[in-house]
Structure 1
Amino acid sequence: MTGAGERDTGDTRDTRVAVDAALLPSVFSGAPVAMIALDRDGAVTAMTPSVERLLGYGEAELLGRPLHDRVRHQHADGHAVAAEECAILAALRAARPAAGEDDVFLREDGSALVVTWAFAPTVLAHTLTGGVLTFSDARAHGAEVSRQRARLADLEAANVRLALLADVSRALGDSDDVVTGLRTLARLLVPVLADWVTVDVLAEDGSALERVALTHRDPALDAAGAARLGPLPPLRPGMTSGLAQVLHGAPLHHHRVVPAVAVDALAAERLDLVRDLGAVEGITAPLRARGRTLGAITLVRTDTARPYRQEDLDFTADLAARAGALLDTTRVLGRQVHRAEQMQRALLPDLAPRIGPLELAGLYRPASDLAQVGGDWYDAFALPDGSTGLVIGDVAGHDLHAATRMGAIRHKLRALAGDRIGPASEVVTRLDRVVQRFAPDDVATLVYARLTTTPGGAHLRWTCAGHPPPLLLTPGAPARLLDDVVDLPVGVADLARADADLPLAPGATLVLYSDGLVEHPGESLTTGLARLLRVGADLGGTPLPGLGPELLARMRPTGLDDIAVLAVRLDGPAATTAGSPVS
């Protein structure tokens, strides 16, 4: 904002004008609306460049002149606003805020600008010095509001799909057998994405086809659907119905449902189903894994007001791929739940008990159902500059895919951290780009920290990507959650991440953990974190190897989720070995 300057008259009002002109640029620089500063008599003392863009008046035409005399003001009906009727001047005289919409300012060329405006007085030492008028193009503002609402609706729909995907991944991982998992999948999709859903599975040799799930939003029709489960007409060469095409390898079949003559036995069965349950539009997607089609999932809507969009088709294809992976994994691994735990542990690092002046201890506890392979991990490693990298992370999902992606992301992060030393936020930002480019379906939360130790002390610098905050236990001080910075998970969005830093006292203990330690069904995360603070306050002096087990014993996690804990303790003055290098 450009000021009118100070007039050397000794008048206190002139001094206040200079104060406004000097302070307002720093306050309103880069503001998205037009702003005009007024003195207590309504004369312009400063203005933003956007004033000229909206009204056509330059600084030479407005500065030092009464705004109401220079910029004509009209009611919405076109009648001029007299000075004694002007709401802006009335607010200035009364030293009170005011606002208005659908008022009209006349531009320099005489054209009308419908504005939304707000006025705020400036008062120093109980004395009115003037005020600030902000205004914007009401029509442009309305269009922007509409765009923002549409964008918000899209984001809400995306959030619904993301939450649904997380629920599906969790349900598929929680299931004792694949049929239970696929039935849970169908129930989750109704009515969020479909009015009814079927899941059909091919036998391993392809000789038989069985319907394992049918869910309808109408409870009566849903209950009757149980009678339609079981064997279906076998798949034969030459069948041309939509379901047959998908089972023969077509990627996806999206169609409007219209009355038709059944072209094969599968089509006849589907036609009976449509007649009984109703249908307007449907999507059939293959359950595929390792290049083979294992079955199909069909989503149907019965309301013409809810057409499927491209986002729904993409989401269904992704969902079917995940379900296909579950079906394939279940057939390959069967009930060998202990192999799942062994693989998870094999993906975790062999943690050294010490790195220079740091004592380390890691703990991993699988979920109570060992078939749920998890994505939780911890890591600690020496960096080329002598600092130490510390990581706790969790890949979304509770299945074999989550565990394997966990291993891939862990190694990527370690490689990026060691390749170029930089702020923790920079390392995670680079990881984010790698994940979004090469594994766009992956979502992970994590905390990455660099702990630097020197003869003068220790310093922790960290960034958090949607993960629960670390716990810091410092001798002689209260337990503390390091929640200074929280950003979105890795794989969700391309964003600039933030860092936090903190000096660490000798003997301090840092505890990184995954959400399974603090989350309980029906309880907020805030409550779980508060309980962790209370428990941790008594554990600062616990020998480090026993700290993780003691946390589990006192926190009493449900066992529904796997848990990873990394505890790091900085040597105290008496325990520090002189000259001990950071390895």
Structure 2
Amino acid sequence: MSAGPPPGRRDARDTRVAVDAALLPSVFGGAPVAMIAVDRDGAVTALTPTAERLLGHAEAELLTRPLHEHLQLQQLDGRVVPAADSPILRALRQARPAAGEGVFVREDGSTLVTSWAFAPTVLAHTLTGGVLTFSDSHAQHAEAARQRERLNTLEEANVRLALLAEVSRVLSEGGEAGDDVVSGLRALAALLVPALADWVTVDVLAEDGTGLERVALAHRDPALRAAAAAHLGPLPPLRPGMTSRLAQVLHGAAPQHQRMPPPAQAPALAVDALARERLALAREFGAAEWITTPLRARGRTLGAITLVRADAARPFRPGDRDFTADLAARAGALLDTTRVLRRQVLRAEQMQRALLPDLAERIGPLELAGLYQPASDLAQVGGDWYDAFGLPDGSTGLVIGDVAGHDLHAATRMGAIRHKLRALAGDRVGPPSDVLARLDRVLQRFAPDDLASVVYARLSTTARGARLQWSNGGHLPPLLLPAQGPPRLLDDVVDLPLGVADLARADAEVDLEGYGPGPVTLVLYSDGLVEHPDESLTSGLRRLLRAGAGLSRTPLRDVGPELLRRMRPTGLDDIAVLTARFALEPGRG
């Protein structure tokens, strides 16, 4: 069975065989794979421990014995391979490598499906034997399957991490949008389809804990998205005693995982109004199973998110429930934060509006109108205010002001400063500069951290006409809309804001009869009307002059809204506007 050595080389061959056999223990002792060494006649000369374990034979049992006699080779279909046809022995005889698949019979009679490879050992052109390496095919396939599963798991984890990052981004943008949290929840639902579910619903409880509204329904099928929109809006209210899975979650239970029963048993799910609505939805859009998870924050349940899969062959996996809970926690935190902020802003805005005066439509011959518009950003509640009041000498005080800051403190301080100014102006009628100087000293003594810009004007009317006197503490100049001629900014004097330094303040004055005959309109406004991040303040004031053109005969109540429409403010700051109009008769003066 062996290929003999070249003529005249018998002694050399025998020496090399001995050398080859001597090397086997050092090579095979630590080999981690299944290997069998044979001599040139096919007798076993060494086994690795892995080969012993796979075959159930100890090395001592097989040494010097013919390989094929004790390691019977079968075809994959179970047919025994005769020694003469053995591809391993044929490769040994021909001194060439070979590989294949086959079945070895273990010591206990069981079979081992293997992938094998044989390599002859040749020293100095002389065949000395060979080495058979083999492995358990089933184990290899199982390991390959495990590797694929691990890779799939890692890939799925990466996808979910990316999805989680995108969800966080979408929700943070929804939070920045403030009251547009519904858009954030709808974007969240759309992101989860089809990566995690075939369709997703988000249901939100009203702050009273009973009213329920579906704010989002996203479906993977474009043809069903239009139909999904019809299911948005109010749902049956949450009532005590409701036992459906959705009701349980809304009552504070843990996430619920439910499978759709067979059609005959499905009506048993309709235990309450919420369950009946959910069952009708499942029948319309298809459902094999779903996970319902609460939107919860600070121990309160604010709603629920439901992920639905319509294909029974694509079931939810154990990690899906935890991942959904993470998403729901983020959405719940956004919803809670928005509601808390909205309540704070509402209280601040209500307080600010309450602190603004109940403006009379007229004070003597003067017609008045006020406008307040809060910032679009929920966090930007500010300290803008206006005021108008009669003074003991028959003149009228007009005020526009802005306390530094955009929070509840600014709104509160605005009310205090407004009342102080009114008290000081009425206590001792004098030039506007004197009133602002006294107010400044009060603030620096009792509220040294307050900073406010103010324009205080006093309009006096006599038989000869009307005179406007004002002092400007760091505020934007009033806008005068003459009955005749272009608008004018009253920028004759501007001093430092109140709260900066105890300095002398100046007055400016103008006789209004030069701007008649007809109605003369004074517009006092806060900086939110003119300031824009993309232009200088000078450019904003020029735009205001253009916007005021043609408004002198517009009904006074419409002047402020029309200025807002023409100026198109950013909404980043709140806006206060006070308009006052005095009709100058022809020939007066």
TM category, shorter: 0.3 to 0.5
Larger radius of gyration: 2
TM-score using structure 2 length: 0.47
